[in-house]
Amino acid sequence: MENPTDLPFNPKPPTILHLDLNSCFATIEQQANPKLRGKPVAVAAYTTPSGCIIAPSVEAKRLGVRLGMRVKDGKMICPHLIVLPPDPWKYRNVHLSLKNLLKTYTDLVFPRSIDEFVLDLEGFPAYAKGMLEVGKEIKERIKKEIGDWLTVSVGIGPNRFLAKTAASLHKPDGLDVIDRNNYLDIYARLKLTDLCGIKIQNTVRLNNAGIYTVLDFYYASSWQLQSAFASIVGYHWYLRLRGWETDDVEFARQSFGNSYALPKPLVSPAELAPLLRKLVEKTGIRMRKSGYWTKGVHVALLYRDGSFWHRGYTLPDYIFDCRDIYKAAFRILLQSPYQKPVRNLAVSCFNLKKAANMQMDLFGNLEKKQKLVEAVDKINEKWGDFVITPALMLGMENTIIDRVSYGNIKELQNMVISNLCADDTDFQSKT
Amino acid sequence: MIQKIDAPISVDLYFDHKLRKVFPRLVIWEGREYLITKIGLHHAFREGRILYHVFSVESPSLFFRLVFNTESLHWRVQEIADGEPN
């Protein structure tokens, strides 16, 4: 079927709601500790001077502290900046509370990241209240039921892209709609880089095609955009800007990986081996928990001089045991031609296949190994991570700690923590 | 100043069965009583099979991160802060 190329703006009423928790990690920290409210706060991967700021609070942002800055730079701009380490379970709990609240409006709730949700209200009773009313009600309920300091920006549109764009129009605490009545006014006020997915490279591509503003982008024909992006991506932009849905795609899991920024400059494979082992353990446990086996192992090294080396191998058979993954990863590590101080070590497993779809082993050896690994995983799950641990990892209890990622919430959705809180007891009450 | 610690602490937890509300009313730390005026956040996590409840609470002078071990039924304080930068 040919793609239609003379589409008008989607006339359907907006039914998609995008919700974005403002300055997520920092706001949650201020929610937890009321003494931090109204003060510049930043959550950093490490609180040491060279640690990276991953979430500045609204107050810190106003003073010029930005995401990705070093702690020392943040403190130079704002000497009273309060720097906190991440507390992943705090953020995961708030994410799940938000999800439960949003589920009362529609079954179609899609977490896009730890701090973003998309809701489709089409055909659900809540839609009858009116989208703006639902947006206001959600904001009020979040303050009442989850945390009085939490603010969210809500965007409403006929497709996911326009709902997200609407959510970014006023931050923090915004509530905006983009629909057939106002899209041209809003496009006229935006720059190309205000659009999610358009940064420097794509701006250059569009400029080369004679497109300099969002209105130019909207008025460009389908073929003009396909030529600018040199792919079908151009047509997707053509649909997106006209309010037609192209982003309701859930991607399958492609890989599992863990990385670690080394506080000490280790050089030799022997020094790096215990860290590699722990990274492999964490990756392997997550992979098996999600029900996958792997056929590909990849190791990446970022050196302190800024250079980078990486290599990945596809194995002859699918593997699941961390001992086998480690053997492959260590073999790759030995191939690195450089003996330089390492800043960052990363390992990942790719070429995944669901464990349930694996062929049975004729002689049963694989089954024995599988049962052993399952037993070790069960013991670790019951008694705590790394209760049974490889000898190579001894003394590494406090390295490579739990982290929470912004984008990857696939595993969070699989975590069974619904039994964390006893029935409907209210823990948010104040004296 | 934020101080990370890990020490046992006495906590008076109140449960109102009619309102279905739970909150720590009072903590006794270093021989002093601190009346809790606000629960900032409650969250929970598991370490192995043990479920922990974390109450981030505020008294007029200090913030406490209180952790309740649901197996031993013991409380520990893991953080005390006065809201000033370190």
Highest-confidence segment of A114-123, A371-380, A402-411: A114-123
pLDDT < 70: residue spans in chain B? none
Of B20, B44, B51, the CB nearest to A424: B20
Of A34, A84, A382, the CB nearest to B48: A382
- Give tens-digit pLDDT for A21-65: 998 999 999 999 999 999 999 999 888 898 899 999 999 999 999
Distance from CA of B31 to the nearest CA of A (A): 22
Cα A109 from chain centroid (whole Å): 16
Helix crossing, A365-383 with A269-289: angle to 10°?
A: 90
pLDDT at position A429 over 50 = no
Q: Where are the beta strands (DSSP E) in A275-395?
A: 292-303, 308-319, 342-354
Total Cβ atoms within 10 A of residue B34: 19
Chain B residues in contact with A94 (beta carbon < 8 A) = 41, 43
Distance from CA of A419 to the nearest CA of B (A): 9
The pLDDT of residue A363: 74
List, as one string, the DSSP characters of B36-70.
Answer: --EEEEEEEEEETTEEEEEEEEE-SS-EEEEEEET
- Give tens-digit pLDDT for A251-278: 778 889 988 888 788 888 888 888 899 8
Of A34, A80, A425, the CB nearest to B40: A34
Query: What is the H or E stretch that residue B10 is in?
Result: strand B10-16
Helix (H, G, I), strand (E, B) or coil at A391: helix
The Cα A195–Cα A94 span in angstroms is 27
Could you give the percent of chain A with pLDDT greater than 70? 90
Please list the alpha-helical segments (H only) found in A209-344.
Answer: 214-219, 222-229, 233-241, 269-289, 322-334
Q: List chain B domain ranges.
A: 2-81
Minimal-distance CA residue of chain B relative to A384: B48
Amino acid at the residue A161? F
* In contact, A33 and B3? CB cutoff 8 Å: no
- Give tens-digit pLDDT for A324-374: 999 999 999 999 888 899 988 999 999 999 888 777 777 767 888 888 988
Partner-chain contact A33 B25, CB within 8 Å: no
The pLDDT of residue A427: 54
Is the Cβ of A416 closer than 8 Å to some Cβ of chain B?
no
pLDDT category of residue A108 using cuts at 50, 70 and 90: very high
Tokens for A349, please give them: 């497993």
Of A80, A90, A424, the CB nearest to B41: A90
* In contact, B48 and A381? CB cutoff 8 Å: yes
Total Cβ atoms within 10 A of residue A176: 21
Residues 6+ apart with CB under 8 A from B43: A89, A90, A93, A94, B53, B54
The pLDDT of residue A421: 46
pLDDT at position A398 over 90 = no
The Cα A385–Cα B48 span in angstroms is 7
Coarse DSSP helix, strand, coil percentages of chain A, rounded to the nearest 5 percent: 40, 20, 40
Probe site for chain A from B1, B4, B25, B43 (most A CB atoms < 10 A)? B43
pLDDT at position A407 over 70 = no
The interface predicted TM-score of the complex, written ipTM, equals 0.94
Burial of A287 (0-12, 13-18, 19+ CB in 10 A): buried
The Cα A227–Cα A237 span in angstroms is 12
The mean pLDDT of chain A is: 87
Is the Cβ of A36 closer than 8 Å to some Cβ of chain B?
yes
Tokens for A42, please give them: 């930043």
Partner-chain contact A384 B48, CB within 8 Å: yes
Tokens for B52, please give them: 């922990």
The pLDDT of residue A426: 56
Is the Cβ of A383 closer than 8 Å to some Cβ of chain B?
yes
Partner-chain contact B48 A90, CB within 8 Å: no
Query: What is the H or E stretch that residue A61 is in?
Result: helix A58-62
Minimal-distance CA residue of chain B relative to A36: B83
* In contact, B57 and A428? CB cutoff 8 Å: no
Partner-chain contact B83 A36, CB within 8 Å: yes
Q: Is pLDDT larger for residue A11 or for residue A415?
A: A11
pLDDT category of residue A391 using cuts at 50, 70 and 90: confident
The pLDDT of residue A400: 60
Tokens for A33, please give them: 């500790």
Q: Is pLDDT larger for residue A427 or for residue A163?
A: A163
Minimal-distance CA residue of chain A relative to B42: A427
Q: Is pLDDT larger for residue A122 or for residue A412?
A: A122
List, as one string, the DSSP characters of A381-404.
Answer: HHH-TTSS--GGGTT-TTSS----
The pLDDT of residue B56: 96
- Report the predicted TM-score, pTM, of the whole model to 2 decimal places: 0.83
Is the Cβ of A389 closer than 8 Å to some Cβ of chain B?
no
Q: Where are the beta strands (DSSP E) in A123-254?
A: 152-157, 175-177
- Give tens-digit pLDDT for A289-332: 889 999 999 999 999 898 999 999 999 989 999 999 999 999 99
Partner-chain contact B40 A31, CB within 8 Å: yes
